[in-house]
Amino acid sequence: MPALINPSILSADFVNLERDLRAIATADFVHVDVMDNHFVPNLTLGLPVVTRIAEVSTLPLDVHLMIEDADRWAPEYAAAGAASVTFHAEATQAPVRLARELRSRGIRAGIALRPASPVEPLLDLLPEFDMLLVMTVEPGFGGQSFIEGTLPKIRRARAALDESGAATWIQVDGGVSRDTIGRIAQAGANVFVAGSAVYGAPDVAAEIAALRDLADAAA
Ligand SMILES: O=C(CO)[C@H](O)[C@H](O)COP(=O)(O)O
Ligand SMILES: [Fe+2]
């Protein structure tokens, strides 16, 4: 499967969001970071804004919830028009039940891990999810450096998926750039979130194409 590039609008201009959504039209999904100032020390946007982005965007929405009580809120983001909702393993009481609920609504369900959270407890459960999100920076802010120590976690997840034959995607979020994407693809990820690398580039479409090419060449 070719690499998917999901630009994060965390690095977009929130006052010119429609313009900045148009700029990433050649990407695969738009990555929307929802933060509640409790699960992470930052606050971004919530249901009303996600609902409006879903109405305006030509790309499907890849919603990354960095919020507490995912069991309560994740289904609301499905109803708001997301194509994919990813919640943190550290913020749910019942990950499999929540994934089943999201999937029953016809959307993709993802589970995310902070850099320090081990993947081992999830390995046998991966077929229950459409995507595993391996955070490669501490969640909360864009523009941080990729944590190299997360690469073994991606390799372990890829090995488990290859063994089980499950079609679960592996997404990487944090510090993805032309410098890091090759190593990440080689480790087994196939979905790449990039915020500052895409929106900080002089030519956004060219950056998306370059990241996709580098990932495909390394996979
Ligand atoms: O979830 C996130 C932060 O918690 C963002 O998606 C991520 O940081 C993207 O930013 P960048 O590509 O600049 O690292
Ligand atoms: Fe994110």
pLDDT digits (tens, 9 = 90+) for 40-56: 999 999 999 999 999 99
Q: Rounded mean pLDDT of 111-126?
A: 98
For the domain that residue 11 is a member of, what is the CATH number? 3.20.20.70
The domain in which residue 21 lies consists of: 4-218
Residue nearest to atom 5 of ligand 1 (CA): 142
Q: Rounded mean pLDDT of 140-163?
A: 98
pLDDT band per the 50, 70, 90 thresholds, residue 59: very high
Distance from Cα 217 to the centre of ligand 2, integer Å: 24
Q: Which amino acid is at 217?
A: A
∠ CA 42-43-49, rounded to 5°: 150
pLDDT band per the 50, 70, 90 thresholds, residue 16: very high
Tell me: ipTM over 0.85.
yes
Q: Which amino acid is at 152?
A: P
pLDDT band per the 50, 70, 90 thresholds, residue 94: very high
Q: Rounded mean pLDDT of 88-96?
A: 98
The span from the CA of 174 to the CA of 195, in Å, is: 8
What's the total number of domains in the chain?
A: 1
Ligand 1 atom nearest to CA at 35: 4
Distance from Cα 199 to the centre of ligand 1, integer Å: 12
Which one from 20, 28, 33, 130 is the annotated catalytic residue?
A: 33
Q: Rounded mean pLDDT of 95-108?
A: 98
C-beta of residue 157 within 8 angstroms of C-beta of residue 126: yes
The ligand whose atoms approach the alpha carbon of 192 most closely is: 1
Q: How far is CA 151 from CA 129, 138, 147, 175, in A?
A: 20, 14, 8, 13
Annotated binding site for a divalent metal cation: 31, 33, 64, 173
Strands 61-66 and 169-173: unpaired
Quick one: tokens of 51?
């609902």
User: Does the annotation mark 173 as catalytic?
Assistant: yes
Distance from Cα 219 to the centre of ligand 2, integer Å: 22
- What is the structure's pLDDT at 159? 98
Place of tokens 């490669």: 136
Distance from Cα 166 to the centre of ligand 2, integer Å: 23
- What is the structure's pLDDT at 18? 98
Contacts of 77 (CB under 8 A, 6+ apart): 34, 47, 50, 63, 65, 85
Q: What stretches of the chain show up as alpha helix (H) in DSSP?
A: 17-22, 47-56, 70-79, 95-104, 151-164, 181-187, 196-199, 204-218
pLDDT band per the 50, 70, 90 thresholds, residue 30: very high
Which region holds residue 175: left if phi is over 0, alpha if psi is between -120 and 50, else beta? left
DSSP lists the bridge partners of residue 33 as: 64
Residue nearest to atom 10 of ligand 1 (CA): 142
Q: Rounded mean pLDDT of 155-171?
A: 98
Q: Is the CB of 67 under 6 A from ligand 1?
A: no
- What is the structure's pLDDT at 63? 99
- What is the structure's pLDDT at 21? 98
Q: Which amino acid is at 204?
A: V
pLDDT band per the 50, 70, 90 thresholds, residue 207: very high
pLDDT band per the 50, 70, 90 thresholds, residue 24: very high
Residue nearest to atom 4 of ligand 1 (CA): 139
Q: Rounded mean pLDDT of 108-122?
A: 98
- What is the structure's pLDDT at 101? 98
Q: Rounded mean pLDDT of 84-92?
A: 99
C-beta of residue 45 within 8 angstroms of C-beta of residue 71: no
The ligand whose atoms approach the alpha carbon of 201 most closely is: 1
Cα torsion 58, 60, 48, 197: sign:
negative
Q: Is the CB of 176 under 6 A from ligand 1?
A: yes
pLDDT band per the 50, 70, 90 thresholds, residue 151: very high
Cα torsion 5, 102, 38, 120: sign:
negative
- What is the structure's pLDDT at 54? 98
pTM above 0.90, yes or no: yes
Q: Is the CB of 11 under 6 A from ligand 1?
A: yes
Cα torsion 180, 181, 187, 189: sign:
positive
